[in-house]
Chain A
Amino acid sequence: MDKKSAKGYLYLLPSMIIMICFTIYPLIRAIVMSFLGDYSIINGSYKSIGFDNYKALFADPDFAMSLKNTTIYVVCVVPVSIMLSLIIAVLINSCKKTKALFQTIYFLPYVTSVIAIGIVWRWMFNSNYGLINFMLGLIGIEPIQWLNLPQYAMPALIIFAIWKSMAFNILIFLAGLQTIPEDLYRAARIDSTPKFRVFTKITVPQLAPMIVYSSVIGMIGAFKVYNEVFSLFQGKAGPANKAMTIVYYIYDKFYNSYKYGVAAAGSVVLFIIILIFTRVQLRVTGGNKK
């Protein structure tokens, strides 16, 4: 290794050490575990080597449901959150005096722990004494059994998640907006370009790296959704498990059922799914070129 490449790795060394110890090593262990039938994490014993865990996984209707729910969740939360955040960020950025105020307000959801704010949302969603139905009632909408009926479990979860995830996106977009050279806008102003055109022709392309980042990070995070479910449904996966997500499934298999191999197989499958989606997404958005 020449001096130049050694330097590159020297800069990477601190993060690599930590990552290898606390991420890569446990990951390898999980991958190995996923191929061991009836593996016991306590004494390392196992009964078979092969694809038994994967077979059990794909034969389990709960896992199929968790796959479906997670996909719905990702497809709903990520794009909606990014689009809304983009609009809000641009609007905030165009304010002068009130910019700081709005920036602070819109970032608040990121500040709290999901666990704590999930409890608040649970109370807000309550069909009888919740604020949401109370307000819907003011505009003449019948109370909705948000957390009681299986069909509303996912919508409730998605609303909560969008609320929670917008803050991060807005922060990133606002930071990104600062890096757009003022000259571009000045030129547009002189040409009196319509605002919507400025938005699509200057703002969005200039923000592209941040949008790619937010959507990749948002998607990865959304695939791993767990805390939101746990806190919104009091540690359960919604009525009749209708809000069961992949990580919830994995967690339940690992910590409650002690099916370590199946849980590990589930996380490997999740890993592969995210990997594929990220690849596709980076290819579509061209984010990989840089």
Chain B
Amino acid sequence: MKLKKFGAGVLAMAMAASMMVGCGETAPATTEAPAETPATEAPATTEATTEAAATEEAPAAEAKSIEATEITFWHAMNGNLETVLTQITDEFNANNEYGIKVTLVNQGAYGDLQTKLQASAAADALPDLAQAYNNWLTPYIDKVVKLDDFVATDFDNWDDIVSAYRDECSEFGFIHAVPYNKSTYVLFYNKTMFDELGIEVPQTWADVEAAAKTVMDSKNIAFIGYDDLAGAVEASLHQNGSDYVDATGALFNDEKGLETCEYLSNLYNNGYARLVGEDGYFSNVLSNQMIASYIGSSAGVSYIKAEGWDLGVAPIPGNVAKAANMAGTNIVMFSQDSNKQLAAWEYLKYITSTDAVVEWAVGTGYLPIRTSAYETDAYKAYMDENVCAKACYEQSKDFFFSPTFDASNDIRSTVPSTVEQLVYDKADAQKWLDTIVEAINAQY
């Protein structure tokens, strides 16, 4: 009986839908006029002639023959980040010889962009380009354009891209993305407090424990905290020479894993480390001098308000090895049309060129994705001024990324709450190891 009603409902719905399709107009194609064209070093001559050149003469276009087209690029860059991205994109729009126009579409925060990409993949309405983390892509990886050919035939020097980024962007067996807004986890510390207590910046786990004891004895506050607990577990395992997870399960149910858990559980059980809790990010806690240091994304440096004390930034401490989490998204291409693909690739080439990368990195604090960008005078000058950039650069050889597979999203969401519970329970190292391994393996 219920089914019959539902059936009738579906029928009515279909009718109604077809009715509405009939009178529905197509959405107005809105063109976004760039609010301001910033003055840059772009040569004035090309700026004036690009539009004409693309359609009439276009000498270079003959070789490649890209027709003038519009490319949409969905991003989640807000505030100053968006300003800089708009600036770089405007430069491309004004200067490219093919009349390509890239339209930036702000899709809110990362979470919103993730949801929207997912919905659009289901509705077959993906944009030409979008920022994305690898783990967002698993359900619709076959809709991502393989970039191997573009890289092989039409990219100046792929090896110039920082190798960890290259690895991350070819994680699925082909080049699926171009790295863009990359950051890394660094150690932010209260330099004034360190100096006052005579603490050196910790290089190893042992240093951390010693420094933490000093801070605890004299100030009675925690020494260290992690904005990202899952990332902390993963990085610590790597630092101890152990693996984390792969597509088959947890890989650290051994002596090395236990050592890692011992380190972490001791930190928490002695009060040397604390959870971020209500503050969400440790930037507030550090600003308030209620913790001596924390490990978090370099992109968060602007949220630290160092008033009455000096901020220090350092590579994160290691143990038998060094390992630092990478963060930030890459740009993936979805366009199916070959002309649009070529056009989108032109844009990607432009924004990943050394000059544009430097402009982006200096403007936003994200890390340059190219080795050559680190060598430029502009970025060197920036690093001299900026302690955070310098620390990031120092650890760029130790980058690792979190692997993506079917269960990886569940692991990412289950590990933080598991660790939190262990901290509340003041569990010992063995309990840490068993619980985390069990929680991870339950996700497969």
Q: Which residues of A approach B to under 8 Å, CB–CB?
A: 16-17, 20-21, 24-25, 28, 40-42, 62, 122, 125-129, 145-150, 234-237, 239-241, 252, 255-259
Contact = CB atoms under 8 A, between A and B. Distances in A.
B6 A28 contact: yes
Interface stretch (B145-153, B340-348, B373-381, B417-425): B417-425
20 contacts: A16-B12, A21-B20, A24-B13, A25-B10, A28-B6, A28-B10, A40-B139, A42-B140, A126-B278, A128-B288, A150-B420, A150-B424, A235-B111, A236-B416, A240-B417, A240-B424, A252-B413, A255-B115, A255-B118, A257-B413
Contacts of B424: 149-150, 239-240
A222 to B, nearest CB: 23
B275 interface: yes
Contacts of A240: 417-418, 420-421, 424
Interface string B393-426: 0000000000000000110011011101100100
Contacts of A28: 6, 9-10
A83 B279 CA distance: 34
A16 B12 CA distance: 9
A265 to B, nearest CB: 16
* Most chain A C-beta atoms within 10 Å of own C-beta, residue among B138, B143, B280: B280
A25 B278 contact: no
Interface in B111-126: 111, 114-115, 118, 121-122
Contacts of A125: 278
Given A20-B9, A236-B416, A241-B420, 9 more contacts: A21-B16, A24-B9, A25-B10, A28-B6, A28-B10, A42-B121, A240-B424, A252-B413, A255-B114
Nearest to A28: B6
B288 A239 contact: no
Contacts of B20: 21
Interface string B31-58: 0000000000000000000000000000
A148 B275 contact: yes
* Most chain B C-beta atoms within 10 Å of own C-beta, residue among A147, A241, A257: A257
A128 B118 contact: no
Give the 7 A-B CB pairs with smallest separation, nearest first.
A147-B278, A148-B277, A241-B417, A240-B420, A240-B421, A20-B13, A234-B280
Contacts of B290: 128
A241 B417 CA distance: 6
A240 B418 CA distance: 6
A145 B13 CA distance: 51
Using C-beta atoms within 8 Å of the partner chain, give the interface range for chain B: 35 or more
Nearest to A259: B410
A35 to B, nearest CB: 14
A40 B20 CA distance: 28
A20 B6 contact: no
A24 B6 CA distance: 8
A21 B278 contact: no
Contacts, number: 82
B138 A21 contact: no
A258 B414 CA distance: 14
Nearest to B114: A255
A217 to B, nearest CB: 24
A150 B417 CA distance: 11
A257 B135 CA distance: 9
A258 B277 CA distance: 27
B409 A20 contact: no
Nearest to A234: B280
Interface string B1-32: 00000100110110011001000000000000
Contacts of B17: 21
Contacts of B414: 62
A41 B122 contact: yes
A255 B115 CA distance: 6
Given A20-B9, A42-B122, A239-B277, A258 B16 contact: no
Contacts of B6: 24, 28
Nearest to B8: A20
Contacts of B138: 258
Contact of B275 (A17, A21, A25, A239): A239
A256 B409 contact: yes
B17 to A, nearest CB: 6
A146 B122 contact: no
B420 A239 contact: yes
B13 A42 contact: no
* Most chain B C-beta atoms within 10 Å of own C-beta, residue among A25, A28, A125: A25
B123 to A, nearest CB: 10
B124 to A, nearest CB: 9
Contacts of B13: 20-21, 24-25
A270 to B, nearest CB: 18
A256 B139 CA distance: 11
B16 A17 contact: yes
Contacts of A127: 278
Interface string B273-284: 001011110000
* Most chain A C-beta atoms within 10 Å of own C-beta, residue among B17, B20, B417: B417
Nearest to B124: A42
Contacts of A42: 121-122, 139-140, 143
A252 B277 CA distance: 20
Contacts of B280: 234
A136 to B, nearest CB: 15
A259 B414 CA distance: 14
A146 B413 contact: no
Contacts of B16: 17, 20-21
A41 B122 CA distance: 6
B162 to A, nearest CB: 28
B145 to A, nearest CB: 16
A85 to B, nearest CB: 29
A148 B420 CA distance: 10
Nearest to A146: B278
Contacts of B421: 150, 240
A145 B277 contact: yes
B416 to A, nearest CB: 8
A145 B6 CA distance: 49
